[in-house]
Structure 1
Amino acid sequence: MYQLFLDAVRKKGKLTVVEAHELSGVHPNFILQIFADLGTIPGVIYSRKHKCLFTTEGFKKFLEKRAASRQVLDIFSEL
């Protein structure tokens, strides 16, 4: 199970609980425990808030997208 999730996150850069459930059929609570364990591996980041497992590069891209969307929201809120 660990290797399945690790391979998937390294391939895509990001793995959500829903995607992991589709891959394995395992209960989401158990998946979150596995994600937390995998998050201790160098180069793999577990975001508890977003319930996703990321590679370091995937997490950087995720943060860049969030920052860009925040800027867009700020522009619209000023109108």
Structure 2
Amino acid sequence: APRDAVALVRERGFSRIPIYRQRETNIVGVVSVKDLLNRGASVPTLDVLKRTPYYVPETKRIDDLLREMQRNRTHMAV
């Protein structure tokens, strides 16, 4: 729930929150704290605010991933 997420952000200081279905390893989206704090009180669920996660294959080399994330200005990958 958006209200719970806002409390978590204030307590822990996260900048992004992963959204998962059924299991923590099944990430289906990412919510930006900026979006949450700006619109969180006006949305019924976090699904409204979620963005598509940046998925990375297990075989991707870390140096390639770093360059790609820097080039695309991506801050979180799954």
- In the superposition, the TM-score normalised over structure 2's length comes to 0.30
More helix by share: 1
- In the superposition, the TM-score normalised over structure 1's length comes to 0.30
